[in-house]
């Protein structure tokens, strides 16, 4: 798939009725809801019914299950994601009519027009950092607008149109769409080679962040001083005369964390910045979350909010959906779900889970995402999964790719990588068979973690149901 090229930004309230294809997706639903909240007439379709689609219907969006050209109605603008193919019947009809066809990033940019844009990007941690930033700005007294790639646990909402002048968004780097947004502040959490099916090389991928942060409308870049890729970015930007605020534990960070302490449920540190020093206390675990909070704090300072109020606001963030999300507990077996799908994300999530296991075992059920990523990172994925005690590998979730273009590439590559490392992996090609496979493996006290960016989300609830049935409950 070629990288997306930015298009001129048009205000969201000036593009007529809007139809969203695949409106129930995590990247689309929040934007559709925001357009409806703005007073725009919005419709949306998806190939299957979902709780998200039903929720959109309660928010003023006319929703359809399945795709049909007649569902475009009198739409003047049609919004698609990178996953929508030209063969989609609704997209084909929009092309035939000559309607305005936008990628979701152009639709999101239209919402940001006239606001102080904050674009949060990076290889990992975008969703959590965006959610944390939105939550902290709200708790510190602002009323920002925001669009996040996953609903906030506290509210169940992934978007909000506020009365304040800030608009916080999660900016996806995978397809180059992060270059579309009219942001004043850009946050870069980290940079590690990924999405090479689009960017071709790690160098081009890293250069994309430089292009983003060098845009004329960007006033300041907030970047992690602890991440090697982000440190290179910081150096390149400062050499070009661009303003950067670096955060992290590094001694040269402008917003620095010290006295870091972690428990299985919380994390704390002392934060030191220009004109401020004090405690940063989170009710979510993980060193990486302290870094995310430092980034959010820095955004708030750049927007003129009170430093102490921002630090205090960090404790109000309790997470987003699919980020170590609890699914259920049956007979002492605890089941969680997480979006981690890159080796670095797997290591961070499994490392955090290890602190919660107790005397039981850590059981991982992993679904690889994309054939291209699987063949590129099979060895690293296997190495990351060795942090679990019991491992179930599933077939690849193809997303926008076709198996025919990647002969021989299956989830078994990850299982084989684990075998080469001396670890046993249970391979299940069909996702529908994974709950039963897990039910036969788990024991009381185990912590089960389903991992991946695809439909592995169905496994946890079904596993809980199976374990709760008579005869399947653990002795």
Question: Is 386 among the catalytic positions?
Answer: no
User: Bridge partners of 257?
Assistant: 271
Question: Is 344 among the catalytic positions?
Answer: no
**408: exposed, middle or buried (Cβ count in 10 Å: 0-12, 13-18, 19+):** exposed
| Residue of 90, 170, 173, 462 with catalytic role | 170
Looking at residue 403, what DSSP letter applies? G
According to the annotation, is 123 in a ligand binding site? yes
| Residue of 77, 93, 121, 126 with catalytic role | 126
Q: What are the tokens at 407?
A: 């002969």
Pairing of strands 390-394, 426-428: parallel
Cβ–Cβ contacts within 10 Å for residue 382, how many?
Answer: 25
**148: exposed, middle or buried (Cβ count in 10 Å: 0-12, 13-18, 19+):** buried
Taking alpha carbons only, the member of 352, 238, 237, 222 closest to residue 294 is 222
Q: Which DSSP string do the residues of 419-455 spell out, in sequence order?
A: HHTT---EEESSGGGHHHHHHTT--TT-EEEEE-SSG
Residues 71 and 50 sit within 8 Å (Cβ to Cβ): no
Contacts of 398 (CB under 8 A, 6+ apart): 370, 371
CA distance 194 to 140: 34
Taking alpha carbons only, the member of 156, 175, 42 closest to residue 107 is 42
Q: In what order do the strands lie in the sheet with 362-366?
A: 325-330, 333-338, 447-451, 362-366, 390-394, 426-428
Taking alpha carbons only, the member of 332, 45, 4 closest to residue 173 is 4
According to the annotation, is 450 in a ligand binding site? no
According to the annotation, is 124 in a ligand binding site? yes
CA distance 13 to 22: 21
According to the annotation, is 300 in a ligand binding site? no
CA distance 281 to 367: 33
Question: Is 170 among the catalytic positions?
Answer: yes
- CA distances, 176 to each of 2, 199, 210, 268 (Å): 9, 8, 12, 35
Looking at residue 12, what DSSP letter applies? G
- CA distances, 150 to each of 102, 147, 322 (Å): 21, 9, 8
| Residue of 63, 77, 121, 127 with catalytic role | 127
According to the annotation, is 98 in a ligand binding site? no
Residues at the binding site for ATP are 122-128
Q: Active-site residue numbers? A: 126-127, 170
């Amino acid at each position: 798939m070629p990288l997306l090229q930015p298009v001129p930004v048009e205000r969201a309230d000036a593009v007529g009725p809007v139809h969203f294809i695949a409106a129930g997706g995590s990247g689309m639903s929040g934007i559709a809801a925001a357009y409806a909240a703005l007073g725009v007439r919005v419709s949306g379709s998806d190939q299957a019914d979902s709780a998200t689609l039903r929720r959109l219907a309660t928010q003023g969006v006319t929703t359809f299950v399945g795709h049909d050209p007649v569902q475009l109605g009198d739409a003047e603008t049609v919004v698609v994601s990178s996953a929508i193919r030209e063969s989609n019947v609704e997209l084909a009809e929009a092309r035939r009519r000559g309607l305005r066809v936008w990628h979701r990033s152009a639709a999101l940019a239209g919402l940001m027009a006239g606001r102080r844009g904050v674009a949060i990007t990076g290889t990992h941690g975008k969703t959590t950092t965006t959610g944390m930033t939105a939550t902290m700005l709200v708790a510190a007294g602002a009323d920002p607008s925001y669009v996040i790639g996953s609903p906030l646990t506290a509210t169940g909402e992934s978007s909000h149109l506020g009365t304040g002048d800030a608009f916080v968004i999660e900016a996806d780097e995978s397809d180059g769409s992060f270059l579309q947004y009219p942001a004043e502040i850009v946050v870069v959490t980290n940079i590690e080679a990924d999405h090479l099916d689009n960017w071709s090389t790690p160098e081009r991928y890293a250069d994309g962040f430089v292009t983003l942060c060098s845009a004329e409308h960007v006033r300041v870049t907030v970047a992690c001083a602890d991440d090697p890729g982000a440190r290179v970015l910081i150096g390149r930007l400062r050499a070009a005369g661009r303003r950067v605020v670096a955060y992290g534990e590094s001694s040269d960070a402008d917003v620095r964390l010290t006295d870091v302490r972690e428990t299985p449920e919380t994390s704390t540190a002392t934060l030191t910045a220009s004109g401020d020093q004090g405690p940063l206390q989170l009710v979510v675990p993980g060193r990486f979350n302290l870094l995310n909070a430092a980034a959010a704090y820095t955004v708030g300072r750049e927007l003129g909010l009170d430093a102490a109020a921002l630090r205090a606001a960090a404790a109000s963030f309790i997470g987003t959906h699919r980020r170590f999300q609890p699914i259920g507990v049956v007979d002492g077996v605890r089941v969680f779900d997480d979006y981690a799908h890159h080796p670095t994300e797997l290591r961070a999530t499994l490392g955090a889970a290890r602190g919660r296991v107790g005397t039981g075992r850590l059981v991982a059920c992993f679904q690889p995402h994309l054939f291209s990523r699987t063949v590129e990172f099979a060895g690293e994925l296997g190495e990351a999964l060795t942090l679990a005690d019991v491992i179930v590998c599933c077939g690849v979730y193809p997303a926008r790719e076709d198996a025919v273009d990647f002969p021989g590439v299956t989830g078994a590559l990850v299982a084989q990588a684990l075998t080469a490392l001396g670890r046993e992996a249970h391979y299940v090609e069909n996702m529908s068979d994974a709950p039963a496979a897990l039910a036969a493996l788990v024991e009381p006290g185990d912590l089960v973690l389903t991992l991946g960016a695809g439909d592995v989300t169905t496994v946890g609830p079904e596993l809980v149901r199976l374990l709760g049935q008579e005869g399947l409950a653990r002795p």
